[in-house]
Amino acid sequence: MTKPVGKQDFPVSNARRYLEPGPVVLITSKHSDESNIMTLGWHTILAFSPSMVGCMISEDNYSHQLIKQSRECVINLPTTELTDKVVGVGNTSGAEIDKFSTFGLTPEKARLVSAPLIQECHANFECRLHDDALVDSYNFFIFEIVAAHVALQPAYPETLHYTGDGIFMVSGNHVDKRSLFSERLL
Amino acid sequence: MTKPVGKQDFPVSNARRYLEPGPVVLITSKHSDESNIMTLGWHTILAFSPSMVGCMISEDNYSHQLIKQSRECVINLPTTELTDKVVGVGNTSGAEIDKFSTFGLTPEKARLVSAPLIQECHANFECRLHDDALVDSYNFFIFEIVAAHVALQPAYPETLHYTGDGIFMVSGNHVDKRSLFSERLL
């Protein structure tokens, strides 16, 4: 496997570049001595600054309680090289296995939160729970991204986008429509 | 332009097939005699049944008030054939122009809501506002999808996914990983 190299600090206000297209992400969490990874496709950017993202994390997931109690997580962006691991993480429970060792994913120390980064992922977004108002009613966590680390190459990594039924869309080409935009919207 | 043909009723509980991959959508709204279209990339599926979707619709958008007051909208899924119209809709204001006539998009009567469907879009999801608890604090609308209409071909339409800076990712190939899934997760 090619490990992402040269990860650098990235402006948290521009996390949308990687998350807004809707990729499947891997969420890491840690509370006391327990840590875990889960696969998630239900997230949305909510604001640029502060950098806010909302995630629907079902209470059926072992990670739900770890995040609710620790009030932190990391959103990790896998590329298609990790497809089978992403599926494996999504089809197993952290209550039964250690997903880091089972799937050969390497935890790395984050800068501002206790949840680990996944070394093999293209980008890592460290998050603190900003608002739990909708956690009990919708399992919807509103996080603030407080630090970001991104591999600078490739500029547009090949990401996975879930459609249900075991089928993933893989990100394709990029098209530049800047010439049609108002300056204030760029 | 190729118009989607043979749109059929589609199970609202499976809206995730089209929305979970994270495409840019066109939101239509209507209140009293005013209707509008806006471009949106900030949305997430929240539940299968009832079929729930959350959308961050900035109060800077003319559509925000129309939706807040009518408590309805339609989420329309454009394909890459509509790219320049999608950008046009996102770079203009319904306070100043009629976006349907300006961009040559055809309003069609919806089944359960007063907001119009966009004929040229591949799919249309009729929505009622289910919970406005986070509208004032985060501009976050929680909708229930109450009816869905989808063109059955192509099975996977080419969609647009925004990365910011005027650059769109276009959906690519699809990969089938059903063989790696637990039966209960398919």
Confirm if A25 and A76 have CB atoms less than 8 A apart: yes
- Cβ partners under 8 Å of residue B98, min gap 6: none
The Cα–Cα gap between B90 and B133 comes to 26
Give the integer Cα–Cα distance in Å for A36 and A63: 6
* Nearest-angstrom CA–CA distance, A125 and A27: 10
Chain A: closest CA distance from residue B159 (Å) = 10
Determine the average pLDDT of the residues in B19-46: 98
What pLDDT, on a 0 to 100 scale, did the predictor assign at position A1? 62
State chain A's mean pLDDT as an integer.
Answer: 96
Is B62 in contact with B35 (CB distance < 8 Å)?
A: no
The answer to whether ipTM exceeds 0.85 is: yes
pLDDT value of residue A4: 86
Asked if the C-beta of B171 comes within 8 angstroms of chain A's C-beta atoms, the answer is yes
Distance of CA B169 to the CA centre of its chain: 17
pLDDT in tens, A69-87: 999 999 999 999 999 999 9
Task: Count CB atoms within 10 A of the CB of residue B150.
Answer: 22
Per-residue pLDDT, A141: 98
- Per-residue pLDDT band at A29 (split at 50, 70, 90): very high
Cis status, amide bond into B154, omega within 30 of 0: yes
* CA gap A59, A71 in Å, rounded: 15
Backbone angles phi, psi at A79, to 5 degrees: -105, 180
- Region B94-116: mean pLDDT is 97
Q: Which chain B residues touch A23 with a CB distance below 8 Å?
A: 22
pLDDT at B1: 62
How many Cα atoms occupy the beta-carbon half-sphere of A160 within 13 Å?
A: 29
Per-residue pLDDT at B3: 74
pLDDT at B34 over 90: yes
The domain covering B11-155 belongs, at the CATH homologous superfamily level, to Electron Transport, Fmn-binding Protein; Chain A (2.30.110.10)
* Domain regions of chain A by residue span: 7-185
| CB pair distance less than 8 Å for A177 and B133 | no
Q: Using DSSP bridges, classify how beta strands A72-77 and A25-31 pair: parallel, antiparallel or unpaired.
A: antiparallel
Q: Does B22 touch chain A (CB under 8 A)?
A: yes
Q: Which residues contact A75 (CB under 8 A, 6 or more apart)?
A: A19, A25, A26, A27, A40, A43, A53, A55, A124, A125, A127, A143, A145
Pairing label, strands B107-108, B34-40: unpaired
Q: Which residues of A touch B11 (CB under 8 A)?
A: none
Confidence class of residue A54 from pLDDT cuts 50, 70 and 90?
very high
Which whole number is the average pLDDT over A145-161? 96
How far does the CA of residue B158 sit from the closest CA of chain A (Å)? 10
Residue A10, pLDDT score = 97
Are A170 and B165 a contacting pair at CB < 8 A? no
How much of chain B, in percent, has pLDDT values that exceed 70?
A: 99
Is B128 in contact with B72 (CB distance < 8 Å)?
yes
**Average pLDDT rounded to a whole number, residues B35-46:** 98
Question: From CA A58, how far away is CA A43, in angstroms rounded?
Answer: 12
pLDDT at B113 over 90: yes
Q: Comparing C-alpha atoms, which of B106, B26, B29 is closest to residue B63?
A: B29
A140 pLDDT above the threshold of 70? yes
B135–chain A Cβ distance below 8 A for any pair: no
Q: Could you identify the residue written with the tokens 């600090």?
A: A9
> pLDDT tier at A2 (50, 70, 90 boundaries)?
low
* Contact of B40 with A22, CB cutoff 8 Å: no
User: Per-residue pLDDT averaged across B86-110, rounded?
Assistant: 97
- H helices within A29-178, ranges in order? 62-70, 83-90, 99-103, 135-138
How many CB atoms are closer than 10 A to CB B180? 14
Pairing mode, if any, of strands A160-162 and A167-176?
Answer: antiparallel
- The chain-wide mean pLDDT, for chain B, equals 96
A170 contacts on B by Cβ (under 8 Å): 172-175
* CATH architecture of the region A7-185: Roll (2.30)
**What is the Cα A11 distance to its own chain's centre?**
16
